[in-house]
Amino acid sequence: MSTREKTIVDKKEIQHLIAKRAAKELEGPCIVNLGIGIPTLVAEYIHDENVFLHTENGLLGVTDVEEQDMDPNLVNAGKLPVGEAIGASYFNSADSFAMIRGGHIDVAILGVLQVDQTGVIANWAVPGKNIMGVGGAMDLLVGAKKVILAMTHTNKDGSRKILKECTYPITSTRSVDKIITELAIFEVVNKTLRLVELMPGVTIEEVREKTEADFIDSLGDV
């Protein structure tokens, strides 16, 4: 295996590690919206039949689909083919976002570019590049009852993403509730990050090194 191939495998493994841990946060009955990227992978690890997936392009009751059953007109928000669960329903974009913005989604799991130490995120634009896409990110941030980030702890180049302050344009003034990475789990309480869990084999020193944001060590708390 080449180094590049190895890196890709590692990257994929890390993404699945994060997704699998994020799935543990979901206890039915609940309505969940999964963002593009790592959050989409979370679906593979949900085994609770009372966790219902909502996708903003107009479907409640998203399931996996086998290759042979793929339908080009049945996709999720990432435009990937999906299946429909028993009891699924379809609705138009205005009705779908009315669900999101009206507070009817229990949990949104999202990816980010940056998150600051108050839990405010940036996930839709990079300064200096053309700002051309926002999709449903801002809607989910204001609407979902609980927002969980499923993200790699650092960027590909090793630079940090959990910062004192976002340098990219923020998505909302609302703080997320939880941050899940391949290294650790933080809860956001009163605009403060609390480290509540380390992933297996990770030390708090490593987390400190790879996190710019201030956080409280709450590992010992019950």
Residue 118 tokens, joined: 């108050």
Query: Residue 65 interacts with another protein (CB under 8 A)?
Result: no
**In terms of CB distance, is 138 or 202 closer to another protein?**
138
SS3 109: strand
Distance in Å, CB of 199 to another protein, minimum: 31
Return all residues near 141 (Cβ < 8 A) that are at least 6 apart. Answer: 108, 110, 121, 147, 171, 172, 174, 176
Question: Of the residues 5, 27, 49, 56, which is catalytic?
Answer: 56
Residue 55 tokens, joined: 């996708």
Residue 209 among the catalytic residues = no
**140/130 Cα distance (integer angstroms):** 22
For another protein, which residue of 14, 45, 63, 142 counts as binding (CB under 8 A)?
Answer: 142
User: Which amino acid, one-letter code, is at 158?
Assistant: G
Q: Are strands 178-180 and 216-217 parallel, antiparallel or unpaired?
A: unpaired
Query: Residue 169 interacts with another protein (CB under 8 A)?
Result: yes
Query: Residue 188 interacts with another protein (CB under 8 A)?
Result: no
Output DSSP code: residue 166: -
For another protein, which residue of 128, 133, 158, 200 counts as binding (CB under 8 A)?
Answer: 133
User: Judged by CB under 8 A, how many residues of this single chain contact another protein?
Assistant: 58
Give catalytic residues, as residue numbers: 56
Using CB under 8 A as the criterion, which residues of the chain lie in contact with another protein when the complex forms? 28-29, 31, 50, 52, 54-60, 70-75, 79, 84, 86-94, 96-105, 125, 129-139, 142-143, 169-173
